[in-house]
Amino acid sequence: MIIRISEEKSVEITPLTVQRSLFLLLSLAAVAVMAKKTIVPGRAVIRELDERLQSVGFQSEKLAVYVGDELEARPVTVPQNAEVSYTWEIADDGILTVRGGRIIASSGGQTLLGVTGGGKSARVNVIAMYKPLPPDSDLPPLYYDKLTIANYKNTLSADFVPEGLIRIPDNYNAEGYTGLYATAETFAAYKKMYIDMYYEIHGRMHIISAYRSYAKQSELYNKAVKNYMAEGKTSTEARSLALGTTQTPGNSEHQLGCTIDVSNDNDTDHDYEKTPEGKWLAENCYKYGFIIRYPADKEDITRIRYEPWHIRYVGVHHAAYMHINNLCLEQYVELQEQGQDAADEYALHHPAAVD
């Protein structure tokens, strides 16, 4: 009887080799039975647990993840593939969050991530980073810091009230105006701009409007409609005419708390752009994080008549990008969305990595 084992080698099985193989098999079985007998069941369980988990750790000192993505944080165990259930601990839950047992990066930053399982624990530094734009892209670098927009198609809810509203000291207001509010960040930037305008051109701005609640906007709009109707316009005509100067409630950026109307007297005026203050504001406001929200050359996009007095705080980085590229907020927000798409695409081929 010949059994072919491989192309080169063949083994001839004779009755003698069969006998030897049988003897070998029986000997092995006997050793196994003896070995089994010497193991006390209790001890076997303890040894099994010890073998299950000796240590928990991570592959490196730092892990990297893109914001919006899930962190692949598989602990390294000795022995490998130990069956242990883990609990996670996050130092800064504004950066990483646990959702449905998965760890997701929700904003950029660095935090410690701790894991505990089987009585062992380990910690690792996690860097959550925004997806980079392709190197040749000139889309807004801060594409991920989405700006809120209120306009004819984006409506704020009636109960939306911005966080961090503060009362503006009355000495910043135009005569007779009192009890105006803006977000603390907006007013801090405004104050800086106010001081610099004074030192540079001895000019002064007076605030005539800032935060407006949904109810206040509603009141203003209804009043404007009423005035037009008193002039003999029909309700439809009055509404469309009112829209030329006053937004419908929910569609005004004054509800955001980061919008301010300024004047150098007690009223808003299209001549403001011709005043030294108006000119200075148009040229310099971006340095303080403000934009002229409704520019003259963007009326077809904003659908609002040019308002040289109406400034919106967006932060220096956003404002500078818009200023340099001559964009209104509608255009900028669209570019932010394109930036998100470009970064998502780029990240597919360039996974997050620690430097």
- Packing angle of the helix pair 276-284, 184-201 (nearest 10 deg): 120
From the CB of 203, what's the least distance to Zn ion, in Å? 20
Helix (H, G, I), strand (E, B) or coil at 106: coil
**Count of residues in contact with Zn ion, rule CB under 5 A:** 2
- Please state, as a whole number, how many other Cβ atoms lie within 10 Å of the Cβ of residue 228: 18
* Residue range at the interface with Zn ion (CB under 5 A); choices 2-10, 37-45, 193-201, 259-267: 259-267
Helix, strand, coil percentages (3-state) for the chain, rounded to 5, are: 40, 20, 40
Q: How many residues does the chain have?
A: 355
Question: 293 vs 318, which CB is nearer to Zn ion?
Answer: 293
Question: 67 vs 208, which CB is nearer to Zn ion?
Answer: 208
* Residue range at the interface with Zn ion (CB under 5 A); choices 105-113, 133-141, 260-268, 344-352: 260-268
Residue with tokens 């932010």, as numbered in its chain: 336
What's the token pair of residue 355?
A: 């430097």
Question: 274 vs 305, which CB is nearer to Zn ion?
Answer: 305
Question: 302 vs 340, which CB is nearer to Zn ion?
Answer: 302
Question: 211 vs 332, which CB is nearer to Zn ion?
Answer: 211
Question: 113 vs 207, which CB is nearer to Zn ion?
Answer: 207
Residues 11-40 that bind Zn ion (CB under 5 A): none
What's the token pair of residue 303?
A: 């659908």
From the CB of 69, what's the least distance to Zn ion, in Å? 40
From the CB of 302, what's the least distance to Zn ion, in Å? 12
From the CB of 185, what's the least distance to Zn ion, in Å? 18
Phi-psi region of 265 (alpha: psi -120 to 50; beta: other; left: phi over 0): beta
Residues 292-311 that bind Zn ion (CB under 5 A): 310
Radius of gyration of the chain (CA): 35
User: Which of 257, 261, 264, 285 lies at the binding interface for Zn ion (CB under 5 A)?
Assistant: 261
15 to 1, 6, 20: CA distances (angstroms): 10, 21, 9
- Please state, as a whole number, how many other Cβ atoms lie within 10 Å of the Cβ of residue 264: 19
Q: Is the distance from CB of 206 to CB of 236 less than 8 angstroms?
A: no
Question: 58 vs 294, which CB is nearer to Zn ion?
Answer: 294
Residues 163-202 that bind Zn ion (CB under 5 A): none
From the CB of 310, what's the least distance to Zn ion, in Å? 4
Chain centroid to CA 340: 11
Of 251, 260, 261, whose CA–CA distance to 304 is shortest? Answer: 251
Residue nearest to Zn ion (CB): 310
Mention every residue, 6+ apart, whose C-beta is less than 8 A from residue 75: 56, 57, 58, 86, 115, 117, 122
* Residue range at the interface with Zn ion (CB under 5 A); choices 45-53, 94-102, 188-196, 254-262: 254-262
Question: 92 vs 269, which CB is nearer to Zn ion?
Answer: 269
From the CB of 259, what's the least distance to Zn ion, in Å? 6
Question: 261 vs 277, which CB is nearer to Zn ion?
Answer: 261
Q: Is 258 in the site for Zn ion (CB under 5 A)?
A: no
From the CB of 73, what's the least distance to Zn ion, in Å? 48
From the CB of 261, what's the least distance to Zn ion, in Å? 4
DSSP state of 62: E
From the CB of 258, what's the least distance to Zn ion, in Å? 11
Report the 3 state secondary structure along 268-326.
CCHHHHHCHHHHHHHHHHHHHCEEECCCHHHHHHHCCCCCCCEEEECCHHHHHHHHHHC
From the CB of 218, what's the least distance to Zn ion, in Å? 16
* Residue range at the interface with Zn ion (CB under 5 A); choices 17-25, 112-120, 255-263, 330-338: 255-263
Question: 120 vs 312, which CB is nearer to Zn ion?
Answer: 312
By CB under 5 A, name the binding residues for Zn ion: 261, 310
